[in-house]
Amino acid sequence: MRPFPATAPAARRAGGAPEGTAVAGGRTGRHRGEGQWAMGHFTPLNANEQTKKDDDGLNVRTRIETVYAQRGFDSIDPADLRGRMRWWGLYTQRRPGIDGGRTAVLEPHELDDEYFMLRVRIDGGRLTVSQLRTIGEVSEEFARGTADITDRQNIQLHWIRIEDVPEIWRRLEGVGLSTTEACGDTPRVIVGSPVAGIAEDEIIDGTPAIEEIHDRYIGSREFSNLPRKFKTAISGSPQLDVVHEINDVAFVGVRHPELGPGFDLWVGGGLSTNPRLGVRLGAWVPLAEVPEVWAGVVGIFRDYGYRRLRNRARLKFLVADWGPERFRQVLQDEYLGRRLADGPAPEQPAGQWRDHVGVHRQRDGRYYVGFAPRVGRMDGATLTKVAELAAGHGSGRLRTTVEQKMIVLDVAGDRVASLVNGLEALGLRVNPSPFRRGTMACTGIEFCKLAIVETKARGELLIEELERRLPDYDQPISVNINGCPNACARIQVADIGLKGQLVTDDQGRQVEGYQVHLGGALGLEPGLGRKVRGLKVTADELPDYVERLLLRYRAERQGDERFAQW
């Protein structure tokens, strides 16, 4: 294993240093035991680090193709099954029938089903009709028709057999899609503005940077062993439409008064346990330099990131300890070899929704049409029909969004009504209620091994109930539902965040329910929702609780006061 590429200055120095020696911008002392490579600590401090040192996660592909797919599930090495297969987007899914109360007490192998979730990465949310058709076909043929749009623009399939994986890769890669580093301690999908290159109000199109980063670094061994996952967001939209505040690194479109359009650099955002919003480094980055700066930030994470405890290994902990000034200094001095220009902060976006749902004019005079499935849930047959609609009404381009929605691009004005009718006939709303528009749910107990409660079906039921009870409710609202204390559905930055756990009902029974978080927000006045002390609702009470809350908000709000300000 070659832990450092020759290109990283700090790494070069660190690579020659004896174990435990401080090098470059690092310090000894209290970080001595964090397993930072740049400090000369190469001895793995936990089982995950050992697995990565034993063999690069990317190497598992050959074994999948030549051994596991031939010999079946039982032939899979446990270190590959629960570790390296993630480097190719594969997770074992939860064995059916295990209730949430047993999640924490069972051993991993007792929770593992012999089927997999497969995550297809869709960088920038950019899809063509032929790609969507292929995902639809794979879903129908190999995934029992499952297909969920995630809140990071990916599409996830379930019920995948190991025997079918090589054929699935062949089909996906045949149309330019991949599952490479869709999971694992790697640079995950790069989220990008779903309206990049077409929006009338766009500041700058980040697509060339997304493509270059993808082509140069995804699947490269330079960044295939990071301390943990690494999330990237790039958007030149003034709508701030990629949740940049909760990514490890984000490039946010701004106009520099002298230098013109470019990107404002943010680092260190992340939710889950110990949620933190990203911080600005005050640096302006031109489009052409985004890949180099991105590689510098990932390099810092690889070299200085903490590798002792998994729950302290995200970049946000290093940024919290260093502060933005020191982080920028190390980036400039050790990774870029030059100073970055100072730059302005993004401005407050005008609209309250950032999801691009509805019919909107493009800058070329055509239209894009965003629509809302319920909680991101689609299926293979519907994806195929959406692909046909896009082929018949647009130029064949589609996008996924970070709100679990989709968009058809390049629709001529006289074809919009026909497309809207076609989507609505599939149950995909172009003018959805605020509840359908604003509700997201993670995978939950149906497939996720960490889940304690059901999420998707609960979310769908909640939407239906609120639409029936509050048909004239018209205020933007976000309701995010997680199946466990992790944050896959971003509960901490929702108006109403619901964290799945077992709660006690009024008969004293342990039942599925949620801890309530209220008042989270993103945008230029971001904040993490308040965990309402002691406020837990059972899953059955959820529609009643949310209805009461919304009615009170509507009655008490002053002027344009948003839910988070109330």
| 443 near ligand SF4, rule: CB under 6 A | yes
Q: Is 478 left (phi over 0), alpha (psi -120 to 50) or beta?
A: beta
For residue 492, state whether it binds ligand SF4 (rule: CB under 6 A). no
- Residue 439 beta carbon to ligand SF4: minimum distance, rounded to whole angstroms: 14
Tokens of residue 256, six digits: 């520099």
| Cβ–Cβ under 8 Å, residues 444 and 453 | yes
By CB under 6 A, which span of 135-143, 210-218, 324-332, 480-488 interacts with ligand SF4? Answer: 480-488
Q: Least distance in Å: CB of 122 to ligand SF4?
A: 18
**Full DSSP string of 228-269:** S-EEEEEE--TT-TT-GGGSSEEEEEEEETTTEEEEEEEE--
For 180, which DSSP code?
A: T
* Identity of the residue numbered 247: N
Complete DSSP assignment for 274-298: S-B--EEEEEEE-GGGHHHHHHHHH
Least distance in Å: CB of 444 to ligand SF4?
A: 5
Write each residue from 250 to 289 as x if it is in contact with ligand SF4 (CB under 6 A), else as -, in one continuous string: ----------------------------------------
How many residues of this chain bind ligand SF4 (CB under 6 A)?
A: 11
d(CA 127, CA 391): 12
Q: How many CB atoms lie within 10 A of CB 283?
A: 21
Q: Work out whether 444 is an interface residue with ligand SF4 (CB under 6 A).
A: yes
Candidates 442, 479, 494, 516: give the one binding ligand SF4 (CB under 6 A): 442
Q: Which of 451/466 has CB closer to ligand SF4?
A: 451
Using DSSP, state whether 6 is helix, strand or coil: coil
Part in contact with ligand SF4 (CB under 6 A); list of ranges 52-60, 300-308, 426-434, 479-487: 479-487
- Taking the complex as a whole, the smallest distance from the CB of residue 135 to ligand SF4 amounts, in Å, to 20
Minimum CB distance to ligand SF4, residue 463 (Å): 18
Which of 287, 295, 450, 479 is close enough to bind ligand SF4 by CB under 6 A? 450
Q: Which stretch binds ligand SF4 (CB under 6 A): 115-123, 146-154, 261-269, 483-491?
A: 483-491
d(CA 147, CA 142): 11
Closest distance between ligand SF4 and the C-beta of residue 361, in Å? 36
Q: What is the DSSP string of 93-159?
A: EEPTT--GGGTTTS-HHHHEEEEEEEEEB-GGGEEEHHHHHHHHHHHHHHSTTEEEE-TTS-EEEEE
Q: Does 496 interact with ligand SF4 (rule: CB under 6 A)?
A: no
Return the range that interacts with ligand SF4 (CB under 6 A); candidates 10-18, 214-222, 443-451, 512-520: 443-451
Any contact of residue 310 with ligand SF4 (CB under 6 A)?
no
Gap between the Cα atoms of 202 and 205, Å rounded? 7
Question: Which among 117, 128, 210, 214 has a CA at the least distance from the CA of 174?
Answer: 128
Residue 499 CB, nearest distance to ligand SF4 (Å)? Answer: 8
Q: Which is nearer to ligand SF4, 98 or 391 (CB)?
A: 98
* Interatomic CA distance for residues 384 and 359, integer angstroms: 21
User: Quick check: 484 binds ligand SF4 (CB under 6 A)?
Assistant: yes
Region of 251-259, 370-378, 446-454, 506-514 interacting with ligand SF4 (CB under 6 A): 446-454
Interacting residue with ligand SF4 among 146, 247, 482, 501 (CB under 6 A): 482
Q: Which is nearer to ligand SF4, 340 or 450 (CB)?
A: 450
Taking CB under 6 A as the criterion, the residue among 9, 15, 253, 483 binding ligand SF4 is 483
**Residue from the set 488, 521, 528, 539 that interacts with ligand SF4 by CB under 6 A:** 488
Q: Name the residue nearer to ligand SF4 (CB basis): 118 or 451.
A: 451
Alpha carbons 462 and 539: distance in angstroms, whole number: 10
What is the SS3 assignment for 426? Answer: coil
Question: Using the rule CB under 6 A, is 408 a contact of ligand SF4?
Answer: no
Q: Does 157 bind ligand SF4 (CB under 6 A)?
A: no
Q: Should residue 463 be labelled a site residue for ligand SF4 when binding is judged by CB under 6 A?
A: no
Q: How far apart are CA 49 and CA 228, in angstroms?
A: 10
| 3-state secondary structure (DSSP) of residue 15 | helix
Choose between 210 and 489: whose C-beta lies nearer to ligand SF4: 489
Q: Which span sits near ligand SF4 by CB under 6 A: 208-216, 309-317, 448-456, 533-541?
A: 448-456
Check if the beta carbon of residue 270 is closer than 8 Å to that of residue 287: no
Closest distance of CB 159 from ligand SF4, Å? 16
CA 521 – CA 280 distance, rounded (Å): 17
CB of 450 to ligand SF4, least distance (A): 4
What are the residues facing 249 on neighbouring strands?
Answer: 232, 267
- The rounded distance, in Å, linking the Cα atoms of 514 and 482 is 9
* Residue 235 tokens, joined: 């958007």
Backbone φ, ψ for residue 314 (5° rounding): -70, 155
CB of 452 to ligand SF4, least distance (A): 7
Residue 486 binds ligand SF4, judged by CB under 6 A: yes
Which is closer to ligand SF4, CB of 198 or CB of 451? 451
Burial class (CB in 10 A: 0-12, 13-18, 19+), 244: buried
Q: Which residue is nearest to ligand SF4 (CB)?
A: 483
Residues that bind ligand SF4 (CB under 6 A): 442-444, 448, 450-451, 482-484, 486, 488
